[in-house]
Structure 1
Amino acid sequence: MAVGLFRVCLVVVTAIINHPLLFPRENATVPENEEEIIRKMQAHQEKLQLEQLRLEEEVAQLAAEKEAVERVAEESQQQHEAHVAWDLWTTLCMILFLIIEVWRQDHQDGAWPECPGGDEDELPGLGGTPLRGLTLPNKTTLDHFYERCIRSATADAARTREFVEGFVDDLLEALRSLCNRDTDMEVEDFIGVDSMYENWQVDRPLLCRLFVPFTPPEPYRFYPELWYSRRSVPLDRQGYGQIKVARADGDALSCICGKTKLGEDMLCLLHGKPGGERPGREMEELLCTGESPYLDTMQVMKWFQTALTRAWHRIARKYEFDLAFSHLDTPGSLKIKFRSGKFMPFDLVPVIQCEDSDLYFVPHLPREPCGSTPASSTDWLLSFAVYERHFLRMTSKALPEGACHLSCLQIASFLLSKQARLTGPSGLHGYHLKTALLHLLLARRASDWKAAQLVARLHELLSFLEKSLLEKKLHHFFVGNRKVPEAMGLPEAVRRAEPLNLFRPFVLQRSLYRRTVDSFNEMLKNAPALISEYSLHVPSDHASLPPKAVVL
């Protein structure tokens, strides 16, 4: 802008100095033609005006550019200051949230699940029904109720287990005799799990649940992939895993269905094709490489049900009863039907052992603890049933004689079962009751489980469930629980995994949560009257099963 002004001044001074009227030259002569002089002066003036306009435009343009630069610099400074303030505020918020979360975790670790206040510091109930208002019958009434309704109903549990185990031994042996040990799946001995083998079964009819492990023929192996071994997994897939089928030497997967005759009714676990329909060599290679290498639960169900059917046909003549499937969508859900019209259900669940541990993958459970179903047919639920049985046995040895822990679980399970018949099933299952008891067993001293403390411990168990429902949080007993004794032999990866919330479905399904809360409150309300009524009279639904079954 200064340069422009200097140029304007220089032009004006030059014009003044050269003006003939103001500074006439000594030897100059007046032109004879005055009009010509005036015309030249006018032309020169017009030229000066044009130059002045051009200079003014340049000055205005320079001023606008300077203002724009200053405005951009000011905006950049403001944005920088705002960004710095936002980063500072975000950092402070993150620090505050972290402090709150650490405090909450510390508070939970110190106060949950042990309930250190005992019977005087019970938690308030849900839905306006305080649990401390629950008045359970005295120990005498509870003992009378337990003897009449629970112990009498499960008196023949040992005999039922013995009968079912003998029959299953014969059935599995027949199944093995139909298989080629070199090319077919190898079925191992069964393992008894759940309430019938943990001595807290209360529902009638008595139900034995047996795991039947199976392995592939050599040189193939099952390679399990657990959810905590992956970088990211959806919340609803926690607790599940997949099983890859491959050769033990690491070669690419190839199918065995074309190398052996599986029979007209037998199915290949990977391809679902009957053994009699042998495809060509090229088609076989296409199926083996194109299909997923992960074991499919639906194919396992079909294979296992077909194998059991053939095994039963082989030994059916030895028995004076019929065998049928109770639920077609559940593998191994069987029912023995006697000629008298009575029946005896039991479950044979095909499972796969997870490496060398007591963890087992199951394709489906009639009562899945998480209340959800797999999203994919290659998802297998990881079961801790064998570890749970071992923990209860190990704990029982350290408890006083006649400890009340199983009695508490049986009474709570009885109340839950009766409530389900009144108002329908809810999101609360027997597995949740057992998980709550396991947490209390780990938190309480052994002396707190004396028989005389049955009422207090039952009240505490119900209080624990109420608190868990209130928070929508019930952690799996083994997953992520580093307080589990190392003597259990639990894999370290399971102990160090993130805790698994069994009540996570309540967070996503509000209707299920409200129905569960209402059912639980109704159960608490009906508990005293129900216990008193059953103490005086045992309904007909607790009649025992036939005492004997003829085996030829």
Structure 2
Amino acid sequence: MALGLFRVCLVVVTAIVNHPLLFPRENATVPENEEEIIRKMQEHQEKLQLEQLRLEEEMSRLVAEKEALQPLEDEGQPQPEAHTAWDLWSTLCMILFLIIEVWRQDHQDGPFPACLGGDEDELSGLVGTPLRGLPLPNKATLDHFYERCIRSATGDATRTREFVEGFVDDLLGALRSICNRDTDMEMEDFIGVGDMYENCLVERPLLYQLFVPFIPTESYSFRPELWCSSLSVPLDRQGYGQIKVSPADGDPLGCICGKTKLGEDMLCLLHGKKRGVRPGRGGGSAMEDLLCSRESSYLDTVQVMKWFLVSLTRAWHHIAHKYEFDLAFDQLDTPGSLKIKFRSGKSMPFTLTPVVQYNDSDLYFVSQVPKVSCEGTPARNSDWFLSFAVCERQFLRMTTKALPEGACHLSCLQIASFLLSKQSRLTGPSGLNNYHLKTALMHLLLSRQATDWTASQLDVRLRELFCFLERSLLEKKLHHFFVGNRKVPVAMGLPETLRRAEPLNLFRPFVLQRTLYHSTVESFYEMLKNAPTLVREYSLHVPSDHASPPPKAVAL
């Protein structure tokens, strides 16, 4: 028995030790031709056949021994415990050998893809070579496309930006002039964010995004609270925070609305037009028409949006006679989304977003319409989204100064954003957006040396960007660039609380929404498939001496 067990174990151990994937030979070389590969495969097959014959002989001997023990069982004598143990070990050894053999066959069919991940049941049909082997345009084609399509479309952006900024200055000045300094919130100077201020413009219409920080009167103070400072915050609330409104003198009932005369349209920071207490509640602990959430001392995003929109409307009416155009609200679900309408029929959209600065950093809490989370739970009005837009602008500026002149990092982002925009118009929006593209680019900027971003490597870096996105999509994991990333330069002045926080996964909705995930992956590969055709069509003309091979026909 023991000798038979030893032989079977020896066969299994020999197969494992000789396995080329588990224990590769140090001096192994790649065969020079197909005949050498076939010969070695045949030799390996013969070894497996010999091992199979040995196992069959061993099994035959085991069957004979079992038949010899059968009379003992018929006479009612107990079977030796060694025989039961032997059957168990034999079975386990055979199962182990079969698992190794199946694993070897699966992995010898082809090389490991470079960008894989995710669950097996969800990635069937999606896994293959990086970018599914889809070709991207070469550098000459990309350069021509960038000059003719992207750069020319945003050539007058600077002049237009100066016009918008001048108008916003006048609008905010009028807003400050009509506000009561004793009871109303104070608006600070605007801060430019987004593609316009990051030199990442792609196409028209040009959109100008401006943050307008506001602060309370001297009688109150804002105390922002981050989600990462609490251990009981739900996963769907990560990336948000709350803003507690406290009296500056520490008196919870201290309010100056009863100590000064307010205008007809003026609002106290805590009270509305009805500045009384609720019936049955003493001491004024709960008041109607708060800018804070009801029954709490946290600033309410919806109430702030209403206050801001009303203030903008009054400010515009105050200066409208000076201009020969109209100002209208553009998107009702976005606070401060405005549009300048000229008499010629042209329009110029821009956004003024009320924000609250987090301490003395470049982080800002942004007011927005509460949305239902991916778990299906409604968001609270007291939750404010934490924006890193100013930090992103600073990081890209800092990186650009360290890169070679004419670096291709922003061109990569612009081309990728252009392709994503066109694909969204063809097949509808997906779970992938421009912020994901920017996040992937910033991760690559930290992982690569400055010399890797020269203008001559535009096509290589663009492919690397898409490959990074592919791996992130298949793994359903794209970490936020600033949250929990200790590689971010200290010069950015990021709060230590965020540097040490747990990484924030921007692709977490894909884990919970499989339909959205599959449609996003399909749209991503469709975008790559359409890329050569889109670049060629929008380039208008590609020089014949630099033209790439014609791509396969694509249904657009």
TM-score by length of 2: 0.71
Alignment partners' CA distance in 1, 2:369 and 2:494 = 22
Alpha-carbon deviation of 1:292?
1.1
Alpha-carbon deviation of 1:281?
9.5
Alignment partners' CA distance in 2, 1:159 and 1:366 = 35
Aligned match of 1:444: 448
Q: Deviations over 1:174-230 (max 9, x none)?
A: 000001222211100000001110000113200000000000001200011110111
Aligned match of 2:508: 504
Q: Deviations over 1:293-334 (max 9, x none)?
A: 000000000000000000000000000000000012211000
Name stretches of at least 5 consecutive residues in structure 2 with no aligned partner: 1-111, 118-122, 289-293, 543-556
Once superposed, what is the RMSD of the aligned Cα atoms? 2.7
Alignment partners' CA distance in 1, 2:198 and 2:355 = 19
Residue 480 of structure 1: SS of its match in structure 2?
coil
Alpha-carbon deviation of 1:369?
13
Alignment partners' CA distance in 2, 1:374 and 1:355 = 28
Alignment partners' CA distance in 2, 1:313 and 1:497 = 46
Q: Deviations over 1:222-255 (max 9, x none)?
A: 0111101112211100000000000123321545
Alignment partners' CA distance in 1, 2:191 and 2:501 = 26
- Which among 421, 427, 442 is matched to residue 423 of structure 1? 427
2:371–2:379 contact (8 Å) kept in structure 1: no
Aligned match of 1:201: 201
Alignment partners' CA distance in 1, 2:227 and 2:346 = 43
Q: Deviations over 1:434-455 (max 9, x none)?
A: 0000000000000000000000
| Distance of aligned partners of 1:304 and 1:237 in 2 relative to their CA distance in 1, 3 Å threshold | same
2:184–2:266 contact (8 Å) kept in structure 1: no
Alpha-carbon deviation of 1:159?
1.2
Aligned match of 1:285: 284
| Distance of aligned partners of 1:384 and 1:368 in 2 relative to their CA distance in 1, 3 Å threshold | farther
Query: Of the two, which has the highest radius of gyration?
Result: 1
Alignment partners' CA distance in 2, 1:135 and 1:257 = 66
Alignment partners' CA distance in 2, 1:201 and 1:445 = 25
Alignment partners' CA distance in 2, 1:503 and 1:425 = 16
Alpha-carbon deviation of 1:287?
2.9
Aligned match of 1:184: 184
Alpha-carbon deviation of 1:270?
4.4
Alignment partners' CA distance in 2, 1:437 and 1:524 = 17
Residues 168-247 of structure 1 correspond to what in structure 2 (within 5 A)?
168-247=168-247
Alignment partners' CA distance in 2, 1:364 and 1:235 = 19
Q: Quick one: which amino acid aligns to residue 473 of structure 1?
A: K
Alignment partners' CA distance in 2, 1:370 and 1:451 = 40
Alignment partners' CA distance in 1, 2:486 and 2:349 = 37
- Which among 345, 352, 355 is matched to residue 348 of structure 1? 352
- Which among 115, 126, 138 is matched to residue 123 of structure 1? 115
Question: How many residues matched?
Answer: 416
Aligned match of 1:145: 145
Residue 358 of structure 1: SS of its match in structure 2?
coil
Aligned match of 2:471: 467
Q: Does 1:295 align with 2:299?
A: yes
| Distance of aligned partners of 1:281 and 1:466 in 2 relative to their CA distance in 1, 3 Å threshold | closer
- Which among 453, 457, 471 is matched to residue 453 of structure 1? 457
TM-score by length of 1: 0.71
Aligned match of 2:335: 331
Q: Quick one: which amino acid aligns to residue 311 of structure 1?
A: A
2:113–2:128 contact (8 Å) kept in structure 1: no
1:245–1:295 contact (8 Å) kept in structure 2: yes
| Distance of aligned partners of 1:258 and 1:195 in 2 relative to their CA distance in 1, 3 Å threshold | farther
Q: Which moved more, 1:132-141 or 1:214-223?
A: 132-141
Q: Quick one: which amino acid aligns to residue 145 of structure 2?
A: F
| Distance of aligned partners of 1:369 and 1:432 in 2 relative to their CA distance in 1, 3 Å threshold | farther
Aligned match of 1:318: 322
- Structure 1 stretches of 4+ with a deviation exceeding 6 A read 280-284, 365-374
Name stretches of at least 5 consecutive residues in structure 1 with no aligned partner: 1-119, 539-552
| Distance of aligned partners of 1:365 and 1:207 in 2 relative to their CA distance in 1, 3 Å threshold | farther
Alignment partners' CA distance in 1, 2:269 and 2:354 = 13
Q: Which moved more, 1:364-373 or 1:208-217?
A: 364-373
